[in-house]
């Protein structure tokens, strides 16, 4: 199924109930008097972030979300019932904007975050409200106001600690399968991953982190080529990028160094913030090299890239080197979390 990371929905708050015109009709109170009650307020529409939803796919089929209308007023000064509010559950990391103006309305990042997106209409007033010393029997009541209607654009940015970055067929899906319980499709052809996958890597009972497998990025992704454009944004909230490189690419594909430079160029064009994130080089598929050539082959790639950051050599398909990599990531994340706690 195609991952839907951006979708437009229509939200409609309930209209306020109308006030009514009514008069008392009681046997022993001949003069009667106005007793028309007010209407009820219309229900409002809220978005609420929940943990058990990972995509916006369901919104393709359910695009209109409507709160309940307020009940009309009644005689004997009875007020109509307020319309029920309507809560729309969205994934964590949902950015909400007005589709017409592009104004950002809110960003739902934590479980339970709630955002009012359409306010219910105000109730109408019954004729009791218009009674005065000079108008003892008012024949006037007001209608409830309309609830807000608007079209929203929901944009999902995955919230993960680690993002996997690399060309198609670099082995990102194999890595996430190897280190977590996620089961993305793996095959020997590009663009196997058509939507992001989240996996939880558990080091022990008390240490874990979330890793995101993002569809491969190709040259021109920042301008919309391939599948990369709509998913580059999902890397923006990760704390660490793993730049996977296939050390033995197919003959028709770019060399490891060319592939790495293409990726670096694309993320620099996409976002300066993304380009400045911590990024580790992960040389994958070393199992396809003769054991005597692994070090020299990998070092040649490192030297040509003039890479000075952390480097890990792995074979995701059989798990070689992945344990050491995951422990190093956990240590990095724990240190970042410690720094954040001290700053707050």
> Tell me: the pLDDT tens digits for 119-169?
999 999 999 999 888 888 888 999 999 999 999 999 886 667 888 888 777
Q: What's residue 214's pLDDT?
A: 67
Mean pLDDT computed over every residue of the chain: 82
The count of residues in the chain is 344
CA atoms within 13 A on the CB side of 80: 30
Mean pLDDT of 79-107: 91
Domain span at residue 101 reads 6-156
Whether 101 and 187 share a structural domain: no
Q: Whole-model pTM?
A: 0.58
pLDDT, tens digit (0-9, with 9 covering 90-100), for 21-51: 988 877 666 567 888 999 999 999 999 998 7
| Residue finishing a domain among 136, 156, 176 | 156
State whether 14 and 123 are in the same domain.
Answer: yes
Position 182 in a domain: yes
Find the distance separating the first CA and the last CA of the chain, reported in whole Å.
Answer: 40
pLDDT, one tens digit per residue, over 277-293 is 899 999 999 999 998 89
1 within a domain of the structure (yes/no)? no
Percent of the chain at pLDDT above 70? 82
pLDDT at position 55, please?
A: 72
Question: Residue 109 maps to which CATH number?
Answer: 2.70.210.12
What is the per-residue pLDDT across 209-254, written as a single tens digit (0 to 9) for each? 888 776 655 444 334 444 444 556 666 667 899 999 988 876 656 7
- Burial pattern 184-214, b for ≥16 Cβ within 10 A else e, equals bebeeebebbebbbbbebebeeeeebbbbbb
**Residue after which a domain boundary falls, among 121, 156, 191:** 156
Query: Crossing angle, helix 256-270 and helix 294-305, to 10 degrees?
Result: 40
Examine the domain organization and report whether 322 and 231 are in the same domain. yes
Verify that 169 and 282 share a domain, yes or no. yes
Decide: 86 and 45 in contact? Cβ < 8 Å.
Answer: yes
Same domain, 192 and 151: no
Q: Which helix (H) or strand (E) holds 266?
A: helix 256-270
- Asked if the structure places residue 114 within a domain, the reply is yes
């Amino acid at each position: 199924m195609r991952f839907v990371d951006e979708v437009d929905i229509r939200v409609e708050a309930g209209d306020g109930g109308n006030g009514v015109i009514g008069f008392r009709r009681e046997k022993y109170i001949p003069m009667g008097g106005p007793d028309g009650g007010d209407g009820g307020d219309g229900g409002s529409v809220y978005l609420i972030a929940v943990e058990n939803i990972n995509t916006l796919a369901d919104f393709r089929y359910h695009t209109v979300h409507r709160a309940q209308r307020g009940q009309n007023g009644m005689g004997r000064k009875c007020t109509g019932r307020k319309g029920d509010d309507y809560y729309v559950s969205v994934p964590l990391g949902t950015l909400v904007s007005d589709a017409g103006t592009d104004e950002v309305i809110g960003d739902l990042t934590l479980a339970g975050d709630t955002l009012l997106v359409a306010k219910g209409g105000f109730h109408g007033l019954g004729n009791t409200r218009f009674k005065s010393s000079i108008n003892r029997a008012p024949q006037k009541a007001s209608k409830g106001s309309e609830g807000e209607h608007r079209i929203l654009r929901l944009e999902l940015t995955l919230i993960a600690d680690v993002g996997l970055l690399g060309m198609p067929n670099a082995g990102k899906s194999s890595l996430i399968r190897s280190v977590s319980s996620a089961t993305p499709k793996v095959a020997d052809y590009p663009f196997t991953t058509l939507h992001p996958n989240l996996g939880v890597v558990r080091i022990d009972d008390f240490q874990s982190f979330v890793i995101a497998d993002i569809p491969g990025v190709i040259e021109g992704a920042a301008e919309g080529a391939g599948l990369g454009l709509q998913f580059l944004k999902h890397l923006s909230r990760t704390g660490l990028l793993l730049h996977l490189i296939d050390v033995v690419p197919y003959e028709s594909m770019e060399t490891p160094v060319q592939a790495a430079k293409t990726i670096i160029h694309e993320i620099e064009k996409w976002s300066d913030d993304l380009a400045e994130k911590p990024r580790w080089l992960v040389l994958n598929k070393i199992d396809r090299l003769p054991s005597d050539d692994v070090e020299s082959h990998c070092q040649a790639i490192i030297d040509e890239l003039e890479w000075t950051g952390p480097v890990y050599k792995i074979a995701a398909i059989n798990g070689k080197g992945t344990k050491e990599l995951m422990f190093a990531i956990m240590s990095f994340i724990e240190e970042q979390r410690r720094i954040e706690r001290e700053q707050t």
